[in-house]
Structure formats: C-alpha cells, structure tokens
Amino acid sequence: MKYCSQCRAEVSYEIPEGDSRHRHICQHCDIIFYSNPRIVAGTLPVFDGQILLCKRAISPRKGYWTLPAGFMENGESTEQAALRETWEEAEAKPELGQLFSMITVPHIDQVHLFFLATLPTPSFSAGPESLEVALFHPEDIPWDEIAFPTVSETLQRFIDQRTGPHVFDIRPEQALRAGDD
Amino acid sequence: MKYCSQCRAEVSYEIPEGDSRHRHICQHCDIIFYSNPRIVAGTLPVFDGQILLCKRAISPRKGYWTLPAGFMENGESTEQAALRETWEEAEAKPELGQLFSMITVPHIDQVHLFFLATLPTPSFSAGPESLEVALFHPEDIPWDEIAFPTVSETLQRFIDQRTGPHVFDIRPEQALRAGDD
Ligand SMILES: [Zn+2]
Ligand SMILES: [Zn+2]
C-alpha cells in the first residue's frame, strides 16, 4: 500500500500511538488501514460413506483435489459461505452439520473452516472453478493429489473418526512438505 | 474506496468477469480490491466458578462489560489472538480450552470466536482498554450492562451449561434489541 484510498496522499507505515504493530496510516484523513486474516469456509460433504471432492480448474493448485471452499464474503454467515462455495464449486446442496475443523494458516493470513455436511442424494456437477467433482471412498482418496494441507488434515481426521471440532494451525514447514504453492 | 492504493488512479466499482459481486477495481494495475469479514477472538476465562469480565475504557460501548476479545492480527493463530487479547485487556494468562462459540455478525462483517479458558490463579488487572476487570458469579452478571450481544449470548449458553461449540449468527434486529452501538 502506497497511497490513501480515500484522498490519494502518500501513506506512512508506522506504529500508531497505543498500538504495537506497524500500520499504513493517512495523516491527512487520520485513517489507519488495517489488514486482517481472511476466512475460507467450506464443507466436507458425505454421501453414503463417500466424500465429495472437487478437482481444481484454477490456480493455485490447478488439477489437484480439494473440498469445496472459498473466501467468506461480507454480509454472509460462515455457514452461508460454506454452502455457497459448495454450490459454486460442486453444484451440490448438502445439509450442513457441525463445524469440524478451524485451521489457521498464519503465513498466508487465512483461517479455514470446514463444516460436516450430508448429501441427501448424489446430485453434483463441476462448477466453473472445478474440472471434475467425484465421490471417494475413504480408501480411494488421492492423498498425493490433495490441493492444500488444511484439506488433507481435515480429511484424515474425519476418516480416523475423530470427533471435532479440530482447532489447530498449519505452519510453513508443513505447508511446504505438503506441496503448497 | 476512491483511489488505487498502489498507483493513485481512480478505481471503478463493478462486477468482475466471472464474479457475482461488485468490487473496487484498478484497471491500470489490474487489481481487484476485496473486502472480507474480520475475526474477533477472545476468551471466556473462569476461576473457581466465576467469570472474568472487563469494563470497556474505549468506544464502542465504553463503560459496559465484555469478555476479553479483539481483532485477530495477520501472522497469528486464532488461539494466539484470543490469548493476546486476554492479556492486553485483562492482564490474565488463562489456559486455553475448547472453542465455545463462533458467531457471525453479518451486518458489521465480523465473526466472533470465544474459547473456554481456565485461570490457574485469580491474577488479573485492567489493561489500557479496560476501566476495571472483575470476577462474577453467574447469578451476579450485569446483564443490562453487557457491551455486545455476542458476549451475552456466549455467557448465557455457558451458564446454561450447554456444550459447544455454538455456531450461529446475530442479525441487526437482535443487535439493536441488545443495545448495540
Ligand atoms: Zn487520506
Ligand atoms: Zn492502480
């Protein structure tokens, strides 16, 4: 950030009085511009013991499999965001269950939320951001082709039948080991 | 937002291709500026059956009681944010327990997280954002002086001994009834 988005003045980068972190500040408008983590919300949709995964049609991690999930928008709830993303990526309308995982990924300033979800019928298809959508028996999950470590961690804990919610974080070492972009 | 924070050009406000929402866009830099909900993380600290509350020294809701909580920062986990805010507002270092509530407040684009927490000793004092910090027996909670509906909902469910996590949202009608700012 170089310029104030309200008045075009150059912003400074300093620690405001009473704060402990550097922020971008417009002295002219007397505004502090904060930057905060973003929420990625999604589901773990299950039909008859099989898990729905989406093959990504877009970067990052194009061609890899993921659970349907995406950035939460202003004005919606976490549950609405999870269901919307499930519709957009997999054209599926599951019944939402409990929060299963809440995983911070601090090095990219994201918090990933996955809700359990049940598909009443095996009705789904690839949305614009997916190449393919398919159901996988737990023993058939393509572990080497999972897009993100938060997804593989969530899947593993679900298959291990561990009750949630699982609240933890994933650090860069793990992300790199898991082949993160 | 009027100007691009990278190049000072005027931004447009339109729906990008493939998107469904209006965004601020700099045509010159080819950047889309997204705005997303922010996370407020805090604790419900308990010592010997009593709950720790902080009387706010700052607006909004100055003079009202709240659980220690505040905006999650980049680079930290949800748990770290909750503990940091508990230290900053109440100078207390509880042991963190499970996630107890995750409440979306869609009309202000916030998601509030409260973790259960146990104080090993009754050691606390008012940080710079608090006028006073005190322990309350459940029957003594000043319900009419609670700062935010997410805090009163979280307290009520805890006192009712309902097991969490509680995932729900609070809409403007409720917020107004509860005297939100
Ligand atoms: Zn300015
Ligand atoms: Zn620009």
| Ligand lying closest to the C-alpha of residue A8 | 1
In percent, how much of chain A has pLDDT > 70?
95
pLDDT value, residue A48: 96
pLDDT at A175: 60
User: A78 touching B, CB under 8 A?
Assistant: yes
Question: What pLDDT is attached to residue A171?
Answer: 86
Q: How many Å separate Cα B142 from the centre of its chain?
A: 19
Going by pLDDT thresholds of 50, 70 and 90, the confidence category of residue A65 is: very high
Regarding whether B134 and B60 lie in a shared domain, the answer is yes
Point out the residues of chain B with pLDDT beneath 50.
Answer: 177-181
Instruction: Give the C-alpha separation, B58 to A111, whole Å.
Output: 28
CATH of the domain at A15: 2.20.70.10
Which one, of A168, A15, A167, A35, lies nearest residue B74 by Cα?
A35
Residues A28 and A71 in one domain: no
Confidence of residue A25 (pLDDT cuts 50, 70, 90): very high
Which of A 25-64 lie inside 8 A of B, CB atoms? Answer: 33-39
**How many Å apart are CA A14 and CA A24, to the nearest integer?**
7
Q: Does A7 touch chain B (CB under 8 A)?
A: yes
Give contacts of A107 with chain B, Cβ < 8 Å.
Answer: 75
Q: Position of tokens 């009419």?
A: B144
| pLDDT for residue A178 is more than 90 | no
- Counted domains in chain B: 2
Mark whether A12 and A96 lie in a shared domain: no
The β-bridge partners of B22 are none
Distance in angstroms (rounded) separating the CA atoms of residues B10 and B3? 4
Answer for the pair A56, A49: CB distance below 8 angstroms, yes or no.
no
In this structure, the answer to whether residues B10 and B49 fall within a common structural domain is no
pLDDT(A156) > 80:
yes
Domain hosting residue A24, numbered range: 1-35
Q: CATH number for the domain including A57?
A: 3.90.79.10
A106 contacts on B by Cβ (under 8 Å): 74-77
Residues A80 and A124 reside in one and the same domain: yes
Residues B25 and B42 in one domain: no
Q: Quick one: A27 and A106 in the same domain?
A: no
Residues A13-21, mean pLDDT to the nearest whole number: 93
ipTM summary value:
0.92
pLDDT at A111 over 70: yes
